[in-house]
Each structure stands twice: as C-alpha cells, then as structure tokens.
Amino acid sequence: MPDETMTKQRDRMVRRQLEPRGITDQLVLAAMRETPRETFVPRDLRNRAYSDEALPIGMGQTISQPYIVAAILQALGLRGHERVLEVGTGSGYSAALLSRLAAHVVSVERLEPLVRRARRCLDTAGADNVEVIHGDGGRGWPAQAPYDAIAVHALAPELPQALVDQLAPGGRLVVPLRGYVGGVLTLFTRTESGGLEHRALDAVAFVPLISGASPADERTP
Ligand code: SAH
C-alpha cells in the first residue's frame, strides 16, 4: 500500500481511536501519527495495521492495540531527554514510539525470535536510539539503571521490586497489574525523597509477564 494511504490511516487512527478516549499529549499524538505500525505487523495482516486491536506476531504474543500503547506513553509524560526501560519489546512498535519521545531506550524481550524480529523492524523504521536486549525484563536491566521512565507491556501479578529499584528519583513506571478482573494499568512515581506514589489509570487486557520461572513456551513456533 502506498505511504500516503498509510499516513491517512494513521491520522484517522489518532482522530477515532486516541483523541476521543482522552489521549491529549501532543507529543504522543505526533509520535503515533509518524510511526509506521505496518512495519511491525506481520505482512499478511498489514491491511489491519491501523485497526483498533492487538494483532498476533507469532509465539503466542501480540503487537499492542494502538490506544493501549498511547495510554502508557501518555502516563510516562516523556519530554525527550529521558532514558527509558521497556519490558516486553514484542514487535518493537512501542519501542519505535518511545524512540521518538525519549533520548535512549533499552527494551528487554524474553523470546529470542521476537528480539531478532524486533531489531529488524526497528532498523527498517530508523529507530537508532533503541537497544533490544534478550532477557527477563522482570528483573529490569540494572547495567543501565537508573531510568527516568519504565514501561511494562505484559500483565504482572505484582509490582516487580527490581523495576522500582531501577527508577530514578522523580521517575515514572507504568505497569499493568493483575486486578480482580483483568489488569489495571497503574502509574508509580518515585518521589524525590525516595518514596513511591501510585495511581490506577485504566482497565486493560495484556499477555502475562513471565518472570523467574522457565516456561514451556520458550520454544520457537
Ligand atoms: N509492546 C509490544 C507488545 C508486547 S506484548 C508491541 O508494541 O509490540 C508483551 C511482550 O512481553 C511479549 O513479547 C512477551 O514475550 C514479553 N514478555 C513477557 N514477559 C517478559 C519478561 N519477563 N521479560 C521480557 N519480556 C517479557
């Protein structure tokens, strides 16, 4: 499909899926208008690249629904100078958005085939300030801590303490936490004095964060 058509579809996505649901941060909206989601969607699903849904990317995982990514990004309140940690690279789409909103992005993914795929897609999209790392993001990535912002893209049973420990003073952490029904997107803010504040944002559906254990789905498809 020609680029112009995709640009129109992105504009429509912003007007119909994001703005009416309360995404108002102009930097986030601009990043969503400029980032080619079609680059991160499997070839046979590209005609649905701007539909209002998560789409399968293999290995039982999904590229997130645009609105959910936008809600996470808006909660992080990025202004361009931040060093960001992302847990759950998946397709690399949210990492590509982060790359436009922050100075440097470290993105950790536990499934190696997805790491390779995401690196390729991020190269194609020209996101050159993103490092994709193969590992258990539930433990964070201490080598480059502290981070001004941390985004978790998989449902966590509880707040991973390792991530809190890697948050800079004033830093923000957005994580979908398991609630009574589904997940609740939750924003944690580290205060300058070292305390932790939290606020529930939205009810959401996510694939699970698998941390610590050695799950059966490590195999390639
Ligand atoms: N934000 C991604 C979608 C992520 S789906 C996108 O825009 O495409 C969630 C991802 O989290 C999956 O790829 C899954 O493999 C990964 N994941 C789950 N637990 C993880 C962990 N402990 N560390 C790193 N990645 C994890």
Model confidence pLDDT, tens digit, residues 55-85: 999 999 999 999 999 999 999 999 999 999 9
Regarding the beta carbon of 63 and ligand 1, being less than 6 Å apart is answered yes
Instruction: Please choose, from the candidates 93, 54, 75, 67, the residue with its C-alpha nearest in 3D space to the C-alpha of residue 151.
Output: 75
- How far, in Å, is the centroid of ligand 1 from the Cα of 112? 11
- How far, in Å, is the centroid of ligand 1 from the Cα of 64? 10
Assigned CATH topology for domain 66-217: Rossmann fold (3.40.50)
- Which of the residues are catalytic? 64
- How far, in Å, is the centroid of ligand 1 from the Cα of 95? 11
- How far, in Å, is the centroid of ligand 1 from the Cα of 4? 30
Determine the Cα–Cα distance for residues 46 and 37; give it in Å rounded to an integer: 9
* Tokens found for residue 161: 């303490």
Return the ligand 1 atom nearest residue 136 CA: 23
* C-beta separation of 187 from 201 below 8 A: yes
Question: In which band, very low, low, confident or very high, does the pLDDT at 206 lie, cut at 50, 70 and 90?
Answer: low
More confident residue, 216 or 157: 157
Instruction: Please choose, from the candidates 159, 121, 14, 132, the residue with its C-alpha nearest in 3D space to the C-alpha of residue 73.
Output: 14
pLDDT in tens, 95-138: 999 999 999 999 999 999 999 999 999 999 999 999 999 999 99
Nearest CA to ligand 1 atom 11: 88
pTM of the model: 0.92
Regarding the beta carbon of 94 and ligand 1, being less than 6 Å apart is answered yes
DSSP E strand stretches across the chain: 55-58, 61-63, 83-87, 104-109, 130-134, 147-152, 167-178, 183-190, 196-204
Regarding the beta carbon of 122 and ligand 1, being less than 6 Å apart is answered no
What's the mean pLDDT in 155-183? 91
